[in-house]
Structure formats: structure tokens, C-alpha cells
Homo-oligomer: A and B are copies of this chain.
Amino acid sequence: MRIAILGGDGYCGWATALYLSSRGHEIAIIDNFARRHWDFELGVQTLTPIRPLPERLAVWQQLTGRVIESYVGDITEYDFLSSMIGEFKPDAIVHFAEQRSAPYSMINRKHAVSTQVNNVVGTLNLLFAIHELAPDCHIIKLGTMGEYGTPNIDIEEGFITIEHNGRKDTLPFPKQPGSFYHLSKVHDSHNIMFACKIWGLRATDLNQGVVYGTLTDEVAMDEALINRFDYDEVFGTVLNRFCAQAAIGLPLTVYGKGGQTRGFLDIRDTVRCIELVCLNPAKAGEFRVFNQFTEQFSVLELAKLVQMIAGEMSLNVEIDHLPDPRVEAESHYYNAKHSRLSDMGLQPHLLSDALVNSLINVALRYRDRIDVAMFAPQVNWRTSRNQRRAASAMGRDLVFAKESL
């Protein structure tokens, strides 16, 4: 199968590209290195030292004999996107090429606007390009569980059957996203649903949970294939942050009460889900939505788990509750369905003590690269002009002061 991975140099995209390549598919990576650029902008770096894409691909070819093509460019530029599709002729396109950080989108107006324009225009371009050049190509779009927010009813997979005043219909599940980033994904979902309806496109929208883990079998083959490990307050995810904090003996920082409950999954399940979806495409005109996660945890549950495993490794850490910089319910009902990918054959890797142990070990290995100024939340949802750079510089001064003690 010919599969194009938009955003294939990023965290999920890279693991997916290697996995699908190892399974015998013809892969192209499309990327403009926006993710690497945002690291420069924010003054942060992945804990793991990732290599430039050409080096990654050369090593992959040396190890496996398999070639992954690369197209460097921006999918918000239609000429670039359409020429790639015309040339590569994909059977499926996996679309990871979006700005994916909620805090990034909440820094200020420019970041909110650039997130929504980048994500919405990229996806619109993709819909038009598929319609015009590859109408049978299956679009696999990464959405997010955050599209649903935290309603007081069970969350279904994309649609809900509603009985109302004696009549009944199955309608898109109501969305209550919690950041300008999450909103952009809701906008995308509506746009894709419409394109499937009017043009008969086939699309699967994967509302993914929070992904954890760095290692897949492929990434583990060589240090040069190492994947990202983001722990900073903007692009880092909560489990990574806790493991990095534990590795250097800092308190685990829980926002508010920590009752915020979300869906989570191992990156090994992300890549397997994408494969399952590629092998079982949506029908022409069909817009499917799968909830792509395997377990629910509250933030405080994860903190306690990391605290326990760290303790077993003789890393004794406290749990600190910080004021929540986000506007969100700190405790709430949460029960999200996620059976469709299991029905298709997913065998989940549930979060184990061993996995948390391995994540802490990754953090220990690269502890010299940890910038402790990057833990504290600097983007407050209630403010529209977060002075992130200044705050970061201040934080860095504090580190230097601390180090000089």
C-alpha cells in the first residue's frame, strides 16, 4: 500500500512511518519541520536528541533496505501538496501535519490565529487535493479526544443517537473543545464530514487520546532513529513531564486538583491503530470517527503512579498542586467509548509499571538535557497576552542561580 504521512517528522508521524515501512508499505513523509521550528521559537528541545530527517531516513535504509521518500514543504501551499499527491499517488494519507499543542495555541492572539489557519487551511487543501487528484484515497485524519470536552454523559465515537420530542436522529456528537487548538480540530472534523458528503470522499477521523512512550520496535533499532520526548509546559505531555521531574528529584506538578480525566494510549498502539485503519478503509462517502485510546486516567492517578515507580527506583518525589493555568473542570464525569479499534483487532499495550520505569530511565539517561525552567506553566488560559519568552528567560535565570548554589 502507498501511504503518505503528513507530518512524518513529528512524534506520532515518525513512529508511524517507520512501523508502516517495516510492514512492507511504500511510505512518503511530508513535512515542513514546523515542529522543530517551534522548539527554536520556544527555546526548548526534546529530551531525546533527535537527528535531522535525512540522517534518520539514511539510517533506516541502511538497517532495513527500505526507502522512505520525503517531500519537504508546507501543506497550506496547495501547489506543493497537490504536486506531491500527483507524484506519489497514495492509497492512503495519514494527516498528522497540524499544530498540536493546546498551550501553544493559547499563548496570544497570533498563536491562536496561526494555529487555526494552519490546521484548517492544511486540511481544506488536503480535501480539495484528494477530490481533484486521488478521489479514492483514504484520508486518515488525527483528531483528538479533546474535541468532546467533558460532557456529563458518556462520550460516543463521533455520533450519538438522540431521541427528542418523539423523533430520533443520529447526529454528530456535540463538541466542547477546551483550547484554540482543540477548536481547530473540531473545525477540521466538520469540514471533513462535509467533504465526504458532497464529494464521496472516504475519511476516518481518529480522536486520539494523549500518547505516551518513546520506543517502538523500529525506533529502538538504532540511536539515530530515536523519537521525540517532549516534557516542556507547551508541547510536553503530562506523563513525560512527571517522569522528567522524577528523574531529577523535583516535585510532580499537578494542575489544580488533578481530577482531570483523559484517554491515554501507548505509541505502539498509535502505530497499530493507523495500520488497522489503513487496512480497513472507510467506504466512499463515509466519514467514520474512532476514539483512539486504550485507558482513562486522571492526572492525579498518573502522578501517584509515577511517584510510586520512582520510589521503587529510589527517586523520592513529592506531588505539588499548582493553580490550574487552564480553564477546565478539575473533577468531572468521564466515560468515553473506544471499542471500534478493538473490534478491528487492536490488542492494547496497557500502561504498566515497566513502561513508567522505562520512561523514567529515558529521562535519567538524558537528564543533562533537562531545562527545569521548562516545567512551570507559563501559558494561562485567562490571559490573552502570555509573555512566554520573558517568563522563560526569568526561569532560566533562576536555574542558573540554583545551579550556582
Identify the A interface with B (CB < 8 A): 78, 109, 112-113, 116-117, 120-121, 124-125, 128, 131-132, 151-154, 160, 162-165, 167-169, 171-180, 183, 186-187, 190-191, 193-194, 197-199, 327, 333, 381-382, 384-385
Flag if B186 contacts A190 (CB, 8 Å): yes
Minimum Cβ distance to chain B for residue A102 (Å): 12
Beta-carbon nearest neighbor of A188 in chain B: B187
Minimum Cβ distance to chain B for residue A97 (Å): 16
Flag if A78 contacts B174 (CB, 8 Å): no
Given A113-B125, A121-B117: A381 and B169 within 8 A (CB)? no
Task: For A153, give its contact among B117, B169, B197 (CB under 8 Å).
Answer: B169
Q: Which residue of A164, A165, A177, A327 has the most chain B CB atoms within 10 A of its CB atom?
A: A164
Cα–Cα, bound, A175→B177 (Å) = 15
Given A160-B162, A382-B199: A190 and B169 within 8 A (CB)? no
Minimum Cβ distance to chain B for residue A72 (Å): 22
Flag if B176 contacts A183 (CB, 8 Å): no
Q: A153-B163, A172-B174 are in contact. List 16 more A-B contacts (CB 8 A).
A: A78-B109, A109-B128, A112-B124, A116-B120, A128-B384, A132-B385, A153-B164, A167-B333, A171-B176, A172-B175, A173-B174, A177-B190, A178-B194, A183-B191, A186-B190, A199-B382
Flag if B160 contacts A180 (CB, 8 Å): no
Minimum Cβ distance to chain B for residue A141 (Å): 15
Cα–Cα, bound, A121→B333 (Å) = 33
Cα–Cα, bound, A152→B175 (Å) = 19
Cα–Cα, bound, A175→B190 (Å) = 8
Q: Which B residues touch A131, using CB under 8 A?
A: 384
Task: For A177, give its contact among B128, B167, B194 (CB under 8 Å).
Answer: B194
Minimum Cβ distance to chain B for residue A145 (Å): 16
Beta-carbon nearest neighbor of A149 in chain B: B171
Flag if A167 contacts B191 (CB, 8 Å): no
Flag if A151 contacts B171 (CB, 8 Å): yes
Flag if B183 contacts A190 (CB, 8 Å): yes
Q: Which B residues touch A171, using CB under 8 A?
A: 151, 153, 174, 176
Complex A-B, nearest 8 residue pairs according to Cβ-Cβ distance, in ascending order: A171-B174, A152-B169, A109-B128, A153-B164, A198-B327, A187-B187, A153-B167, A172-B174
Beta-carbon nearest neighbor of A179 in chain B: B194
Flag if A165 contacts B183 (CB, 8 Å): no
Flag if A113 contacts B124 (CB, 8 Å): yes
Flag if A120 contacts B327 (CB, 8 Å): no
Q: Which B residues touch A169, using CB under 8 A?
A: 151-153
Flag if A384 contacts B199 (CB, 8 Å): yes
Given A128-B109, A183-B191: A165 and B172 within 8 A (CB)? no
Q: Which B residues touch A381, using CB under 8 A?
A: 198
Q: Which B residues touch A113, using CB under 8 A?
A: 121, 124-125
Beta-carbon nearest neighbor of A131 in chain B: B384
Q: Which B residues touch A187, using CB under 8 A?
A: 116, 120, 183, 186-187, 190
24 contacts between A and B (CB under 8 A): A109-B124, A109-B125, A113-B125, A116-B120, A116-B121, A116-B187, A117-B117, A120-B120, A131-B384, A152-B167, A153-B164, A160-B162, A162-B162, A167-B333, A171-B174, A177-B190, A177-B194, A183-B187, A183-B190, A183-B191, A187-B187, A198-B327, A198-B381, A199-B384
Cα–Cα, bound, A174→B162 (Å) = 10
Q: Which B residues touch A186, using CB under 8 A?
A: 187, 190
Beta-carbon nearest neighbor of A173 in chain B: B174
Beta-carbon nearest neighbor of A187 in chain B: B187
Beta-carbon nearest neighbor of A117 in chain B: B117
Cα–Cα, bound, A120→B116 (Å) = 8
